[in-house]
A and B are shown apart, each in its own frame.
Chain A
């Protein structure tokens, strides 16, 4: 079965703290794609990153970094020196069968000043 688990429902941190959002996936496909999206209070989902199953190289983009580990079926997202503007719901997603996207339940991150 194709499944994405985001075990952390809500996380609250104080500004400038580092925070890691966990994502664990299940799939039988050998070729698949993983994504992170951000949903601010406005509601629109914003694409953050895409990773394919053949590329385990970690990615860093400014304060954001992603750790993809096939051995543990995890694709975790870390925000360094968090800011209030990072407050949002973050979704991890799995693309399989080339077109089918399965989203996790999301993690609500609150960054307090």
Chain B
């Protein structure tokens, strides 16, 4: 069966510091991978998605970036965090025309 891992589970970072969140998927090959952000009490905002290694589509211009160095690994990064980057970050995987399955999420607080 497929599983999706995210780490860390929680993170507190100062403004201006770098960020690296990692997501890995097991039990499937060539999945579509997604990064979402959920602000407190709000819906989900799609940040990036990838249909293959090295292929990244950005939905929202911001100071975040994403990379997919391996088929089942998806990384969300920032060189300098802003206060507005605080939120709950969710990674998801899916296949063509089907539902997406979500990881446990990372709660990021930028102080």
Mark B84-111 against chain A: 1 for CB-CB distance below 8 A, else 0: 0000101010101111111111010000
Binds A, one of B13-21, B44-52, B70-78: B44-52
B67 within 8 A of partner (CB): no
Establish whether residues A47 and B101, one from each chain, have CB atoms under 8 Å apart when the complex forms.
Answer: yes
Q: Please indicate the chain B residues that have their CB under 8 angstroms from the CB of A43 in the complex.
A: 88, 90, 104-105, 107
In the bound assembly, the distance between CA atoms of A43 and B100 in angstroms comes to 15
B65 within 8 A of partner (CB): no
How many residues in A have their beta carbons less than 8 Å from beta carbons of B?
22
B103 to chain A, nearest CB (A): 7
Establish whether residues A99 and B43, one from each chain, have CB atoms under 8 Å apart when the complex forms.
Answer: no
B88, B94, B97 pick with most chain A CB within 10 angstroms: B97
Q: Please indicate the chain A residues that have their CB under 8 angstroms from the CB of B43 in the complex.
A: 91, 103-106
In the bound assembly, the distance between CA atoms of A33 and B96 in angstroms comes to 11
Q: How large is the interface on B (under 10, 10 to 19, 20 to 34, 35 or more residues)?
A: 20 to 34
Q: Please indicate the chain A residues that have their CB under 8 angstroms from the CB of B30 in the complex.
A: none
A19 within 8 A of partner (CB): no
A4 to chain B, nearest CB (A): 9
A44 within 8 A of partner (CB): yes
Establish whether residues B98 and A44, one from each chain, have CB atoms under 8 Å apart when the complex forms.
Answer: no
In the bound assembly, the distance between CA atoms of A91 and B44 in angstroms comes to 9
In the bound assembly, the distance between CA atoms of A99 and B99 in angstroms comes to 10
**What are 19 A-B pairs at a CB distance below 8 A?**
A42-B104, A43-B90, A43-B105, A44-B90, A44-B103, A45-B90, A47-B99, A47-B102, A91-B44, A98-B96, A99-B32, A99-B49, A99-B51, A99-B94, A101-B94, A101-B100, A105-B42, A105-B43, A106-B43
Q: Which B residues have a C-beta under 8 Å from some C-beta of A?
A: 32, 34, 42-44, 46, 49, 51, 88, 90, 92, 94, 96-105, 107
Instruction: List 19 additional contacts besides A43-B107, A45-B90, A99-B51; criterion CB under 8 Å.
Output: A33-B98, A33-B99, A37-B102, A43-B90, A43-B105, A44-B90, A45-B44, A47-B101, A47-B102, A50-B98, A50-B99, A91-B43, A91-B44, A98-B96, A98-B97, A101-B34, A102-B46, A105-B42, A106-B42
